[in-house]
Structure 1
């Protein structure tokens, strides 16, 4: 097996500030947790922006610049910027930060899907900000839009014109066939890095048999031209990551995907989750990739070519 790439998704756009005091929302908080996660072993840092006053997901370039230069100065880890932003944003809003920053890597969701967050409401009544509860409650009518036209535009704007490579986020089996469609159109070249996203209500569940099927399908569609990583939203985060590592894949953890370190215990940082998955994968005999090694594996343009 090749060396294993650990990705860490630092803040995301799903969890709200009331859910954990450890969720980073300001520029300095995001930068500090990103650098600490890299020092713990994360070669890739997957980054979203938030409004520093309210913690609400943000698409503003100024909010990205509140942490990107600090992250670059503090670590040589790969910055992977979201093009998914939040399901409440337009495609133009979602691309504002990436177009400005020209990162080495971007995420790219491979389809339109329901994105249901309302089960996270639970019994909570003590919200820090007035946007949180309506945001979650309205997600029973929320669709994340990424049509074939949207995907082609992101591939052109971020890939062909700015040299970024992609983490192709596949939330279900059909997304793998959409990815194959774009390979056949000549818009995607190897090496292909696929992130199997499991456990989001609207996508495939985080179950071992589903991961086996996803990998078997990807093997059929892409052969030796791809590598895969796995993230599981919620309580199956570590179990599915361990399974991915045992299958020869890569792994992703982070507070975007799961706020906890164990049952009922909030993670105090992203680095804590990186440390835990690193201990698991090393116990399985996998060696953790450094950022330069991950760059070589994924064919990235290099840190000197970004615009932040």
Structure 2
């Protein structure tokens, strides 16, 4: 048994890619996409049909030039998601435009639009997770959307305050970014590699996992953004792990023994009172790394969204 097969016994494996070929090869349960992955996918000639279909859709919908570009961007997001769903049994995570991350109402409207587009393609909403950045506004948007059976994946999660607020809002799933937490600490403190025993990204997920399970929160924890296999193995037993094809290949190529690292407790403790918005913002603000990486992540996903829209601007 290789490490990937062994890991699947403890943890649901999710493919962190929009590449259909990789998804077919590694047979994950779920898959996640983001603006960067979509942008990377459309640069391949094999995805030209998706570009052309999106442009045709946008022209048919009409409206202003801006409307057409927006509709084309939403269409390719959904069409790639539909294609991925043909090859997995579980969920596809599709991300809302990061530039909406500080507007609850606009996030809700965009999420409903994306779900509606999936449903028109015959995909039920219970197979789609709407990805939102873990801002206060998006967490509250996810809370509202769940009332309409629209489940969300709260991404770009770096602080314990974000994790607490998500659980207290009964968010479906969170994606703590292990690798980006690791990167920040290496660049700001040690300047050299850190072993998984003291890896801040790994320790962050351990803390969240133990807290969630102790208080019996139902929010799913999906570790994300890995830099090496050691980080993944240190989180074996986590609810879900979303892994790039490169690291999936490394796991599949190794037959070293794997030991489960995360196990839920048998006894539960009553959870504390929920964080207020004021307390959330203050506690999140105390974590310099989290403030830095959340804003950086939103900016970069926003830039990639603009790059995608620029592609459509030339085609429409």
TM-score normalised per structure 2: 0.45
Q: Which structure has the bigger radius of gyration? A: 2
Structure showing the higher strand proportion among its residues: 1
